Amino acid sequence: MSDSGAIGPAGAPATASAADSWRVTLPCTRAEAEAIDAASDLAIDAVLMTTEEVEDDVERWRLDAYMDAAPDAAMLAALGALVPSAGGRAAEVVQLTDEDWVTLSQQGLEPIREGRFVVHTSAHPPTPEPGTRAFLIDAGRAFGTGHHGTTSGCLAMLDRMALDGKRFAKVIDIGTGTGLLAFAALELWPEADVTATDIDPVAIEVTAANATLNGVEGTRLIVADGTLDDAIVAHAPYDLVIANILAGPLVSMAPEIAAIAAPGATVLLAGLLETQREGVEAAYRACGCTVEARDRRGDWTVLRLAAGAERYVPTQPFDPKGRDGWALDI
C-alpha cells in the first residue's frame, strides 16, 4: 500500500493536529486520485490524502479527508463529487482523538535508506551503519519524512550527483517542508551556502526544530512565496535549485526558478506525477533548461535539469497564480 499524496485546504500544505478531528473515507480510482493530487484549486476545507489499497490495481484506491469539525451534508457532497466512481456510496465517517493522530502520523514509517542517507522517526530508530548519515524526521506538521517517492527520489539523485563528483557552492531548497533535502545537500556539500524556503511559516518552524534535533547548522531559512522574496533574489544565482512541490506550482514557477539559477545550474524537480512530466519539462525547456536525468518511482517522477548556458531573463512579470499546493510529501 502506498500513499499517492496529500494536500490541505485549497491545496495548502497538510498538517496533522488537534483532538476531536474527523476523517471521511471514500473509495476511488487511480485516475481520480491523480486528479485530486494534481488539483491546485479545490475549495474544500480538509486535508485530502489518496492511497493505493491494492498494488497496481487502478480501481482500488481510497480517498481520506481529514477535518477539524464533523462533516455536514455539503462537505460530504463535495467529497463525493471528487470520486464519481464511488457511485453515491455512503462515506465512512470517523471521529479521531489525539492518540489516533499520533498513530496515523507514525504508522508504517520504518527507516528508509537512500544512498548514504537513513531517514527515520522517533518510533523507529535505525540500526547504526558505518558510512551513513541518519536524519530524525518525525511526521507531523510539515511534509518531507522521506517515505514518499518524491523525497526519497530526490535524496537518491542528490547522493548520486555527489558520487559523480558534482560540486555546488550555493543551494536553495524551495518548498522545504521538514528541511530534509536542504539538510542532505549540506551534508553532501558542507562548504555550500544553503537556503531553505517554504510558503508555510509552520514548515520553516519545523525545519528549524529539525535542524537543531539533527545537529545541522548554517541553513538560511526564509518564509517566501516561491522566489518572491528580496533576500532570495539578492542571494541569487544558485548553482543547485531543489523544488519538491507539485506539478502546478512547478509549471507556474518555471520562469522565476530559471531566473535565480546560475548558468548551467542543476535544477532538481519533484512532486510531479509521470502523467504530468511532459508538461513540466515543456515549461522549463521554454526557460532554457534541458533534461539531464529522470528517476521514476511508481507514479511519480524526479527530474534533473540543467539551466541554460546564459542566465535566464524573464520576459514578463511573474504570476503567482497556480502555485497553491506546496510541499507534497508525507
Annotated binding-site members for S-adenosyl-L-methionine: 151, 175, 198, 244
Nearby residues of 97 by Cβ (< 8 Å), 6 or more positions away = 19, 20
Pull the grid cell for residue 214. Answer: 539533527
For the chain, give percent helix, strand, coil, nearest 5.
30, 30, 40
Give the relative orientation of helices 73-82 and 30-38 as an angle to the nearest 10 degrees: 110
- Please report, in range form, the residues annotated as the binding site: 151, 175, 198, 244
State phi, psi for 317 to the nearest 5 degrees.
-60, 150
Asked whether 245 and 212 are in contact (CB, 8 A), the reply is no
Asked whether 327 and 13 are in contact (CB, 8 A), the reply is yes
Nearby residues of 34 by Cβ (< 8 Å), 6 or more positions away = 4, 273, 275, 299
- Burial degree of 218 (CB within 10 A; 0-12, 13-18, 19+): exposed
Distance CA 36, CA 205 (A): 28
Question: Cell 507514479 maps to which residue?
Answer: 299
Instruction: Determine the distance from the C-alpha atom of residue 182 to the mean position of all C-alpha atoms in its chain, rounded to a whole number.
Output: 13
**Omega prior to 9 cis, within 30 of 0:** no
Nearby residues of 90 by Cβ (< 8 Å), 6 or more positions away = none
What DSSP state is assigned to residue 275? Answer: G
Question: Cell 510558503 maps to which residue?
Answer: 199
Residue (of 161, 198, 164, 166) closest to 182 by Cα position = 198
